[in-house]
Amino acid sequence: MRKITGLLLAVIILITTLARAEWYKGNTHTHTVNSDGDSSPDAVVRWYKEHDYNFVVITDHNFLTNVRGLNEIFAAEGKFLVIPGEEVTDKLIRPDSSRAPVHFCAINLQKKIIPAGGKSIAGILQADVNSINAAGAVAQINHPNFRWAFGVEEMYAVNNCSLFEVANFSTDCNDYGEGGMPATEALWDSLLSRGRLIYGVASDDTHELKNWGQEYSNPGRGWVMVRGNELTAPGIAAALARGDFYSSNGIILKDIKVDSLSYTVEIEKIADEDTKYTVYFIGRGGRILATVSDNPAVYKITGKEGYVRARVADSNGLKAWTQPVFTGSE
């Protein structure tokens, strides 16, 4: 038998790994009565389980919920996982005595984190990221436009943070900007254009199950689809940290493929044949590189884009966001 070279073996392992990979639907930002939610952890987890999610991260404000019992109940019922987390809830007191909220989700956390505090937004952001990383969890910057707490300059100053909420579907998070303030997606493009690699998360930031309506922060409005080989807390956290996921508020993708030559997005076909889709490939400065209505949608990489990511939109107002890849300098 011929000896298999290291490179060939690596390719075989990669192909085998991709063949086993699955998409797991989950929410990374979830509240219960352990902070300011209106329902018990059991009721909240049951909602996600019954609505075809594969995982949920419990992230109460400055509180770490023990999820062992929840997993014993719900994992036994099928392919489902509860991941421990915390919304590290910090703030800056401004000179006028108002408060700028600085919040993070710590995903797959084993020990409660105390907010670091500080004298500047950038300092607080970095100190809390450092604490989350030191605890072995994954840090996610939450809703930067909530009370217009901070912007691109403060976020750009932060190192070693791989996630932020590009879409938070709770109330008052101001994702769309306006009034001279940038949308969260514009913040994302500004960071990427400066060379800061960060991945965009969609979440519903659940607080209410007992009351429903646009004025409430209900579940099921935004989520991530994580690609992985196993439904475990370390596996999900690692996939999020490396950007192997997409975010959505209703559009389902079948596959995303990226290599040195092309970026391909394939949309999962649905029964409603009247629904139309457009894939916007986006590069440096938020510039639209290409607008494609084919499925799969393919963008040919030139190497001059700075980065490439995709936003998928349908004729009913739903969206999905794929993660950026850097393509080199101009």
Tell me phi and psi for residue 82, to 5 degrees. Answer: -105, 125
Can you give the residue range of the structural domain that contains 324? 251-330
Q: For residues 121-155, b (16+ Cβ closer than 10 Å) or e, as one string?
A: bbbbbbbbbbbbbebebbbbbbbbbbeebbbbebb
**323 and 177 in one domain?**
no
The total number of structural domains that make up the chain: 2
**174 and 27 in one domain?**
yes
Q: Is the residue at 9 inside a domain?
A: no
pLDDT tens by residue, the chain, 330 residues: 333 233 333 333 333 344 458 999 999 999 999 999 999 999 999 999 999 999 999 999 999 999 999 999 998 767 899 999 999 999 999 888 889 999 999 999 999 999 999 999 999 999 999 999 999 999 999 999 999 999 999 999 999 999 999 999 999 999 999 999 999 999 999 999 999 999 999 999 999 999 999 999 999 999 999 999 999 999 999 999 999 999 999 999 999 999 999 999 999 977 788 999 999 999 999 999 999 999 999 999 999 999 999 999 999 999 999 999 999 754
Place of tokens 């769309």: 176
CATH number of residue 116's parent domain? 3.20.20.140
Residue type, 128: D
Q: What is the rounded CA–CA span in Å between residue 330 and residue 324?
A: 17
Q: Is the residue at 15 inside a domain?
A: no
pTM of the model: 0.92
